[in-house]
Amino acid sequence: MTDWSERHRREGNVISFIPTMGFLHEGHLSLMKEGLLQGDKLIISIFVNPTQFGPGEDFDAYPCDLERDFQLAEDIGVDVVFTPNKADFYPQGFDTFIDQEQLPNHLCGLSRSGHFQGVMTIVTKLFHVVNPDIAVFGEKDFQQLAIIRRMVKDLNFNIRIIGHPIVRESDGLAMSSRNSKLTPAQRITGLCLINSLKKAQSSLKNNKTNAAAIIQDTVEFIGSHPDTEIDYIKICDPDTLDDVDSIDRPVVMAMAVKVGTTRLIDNMIL
């Protein structure tokens, strides 16, 4: 992989890279289109990274269809699909992890202990092996993007990070590989995330600027849907991810909600 990148960079190409866990959907494809626009060669990786899943999470049940993914990647113009195997990437004795002090102690980091340590470690490994000029990440994983930007700055990676807006189904559900796990009824219930974000946006337009009050309304709205369990609903500063009390500047409203056993996340800049 590294040789391929080096060879094509020496020929004057800008290399774009998109790490994924596969089971590709329009959200991933939209990142790929961005990668193709920004660079000359596009590499994606497909690797379901064990170190970012906690005990009891869905590592073993994560959806997978490599043949379909290869076809989608080829159709859109990806040059390389890099699929490292687990034993090569985490050989026996593997013992080094990347961590961060502040940003992981918010949002998903609080309920998924060690998750971002796993994410930062795999992204670092992929960056070293793929050695891209540009990497594209989705704003759907808002906290992940913030953490990667911080890491790239702090550790002097010579890689330009591009954030890409959330891609949604026509009814507003944020696309996710995990949506495939929803039953038809849960799929409808899943709309309560985006609908609650839209409600919050319109509350704010009606001068309701108290974050706690908006969150309380959201808790009640989501709670009124069957089969839901709120992990968190937060209104926070987009850079530090610290809670905001009164909304007097752009904030990010972010949430994680279990619908049945499937954990969904969504966010919106208000």
**Contact, 79 vs 42, CB < 8 A?**
yes
Pairing verdict, β 41-46 and 228-236:
unpaired
- Is 28 part of the annotated catalytic residue set? yes
Q: Among 123, 126, 167, which Cα is nearest to 145's?
A: 123
Distance CA 234, CA 254 (A): 5
CB of 54 to ligand AMP, least distance (A): 16
CB of 220 to ligand AMP, least distance (A): 26
Q: Toward ligand AMP, which CB reaches closer, 18 or 215?
A: 18
Q: Toward ligand AMP, which CB reaches closer, 174 or 256?
A: 174
Q: Toward ligand AMP, which CB reaches closer, 190 or 247?
A: 190
Q: Toward ligand AMP, which CB reaches closer, 79 or 141?
A: 141
Cβ-closest position to ligand AMP: 138
- Map residue 151 onto helix, strand or coil: helix
CB of 44 to ligand AMP, least distance (A): 9
Pairing verdict, β 262-269 and 252-259:
antiparallel
- The secondary element (H helix, E strand) that includes residue 191 is helix 191-205
Kindly state the tokens that stand for 104. Answer: 């992981």
CB of 63 to ligand AMP, least distance (A): 10
Q: In degrees, to the nearest 5, what angle opens at C-alpha 46 toward C-alphas 257 and 64?
A: 60
Of residues 28, 115, 164, 225, which has the active-site annotation?
28
Residues in touch with ligand AMP (CB under 6 A) = 20-21, 27-28, 31, 137-138, 140-141, 164, 166-167, 174-177
DSSP classification of residue 228: E
DSSP classification of residue 243: B
Q: Which residues are catalytic?
A: 28
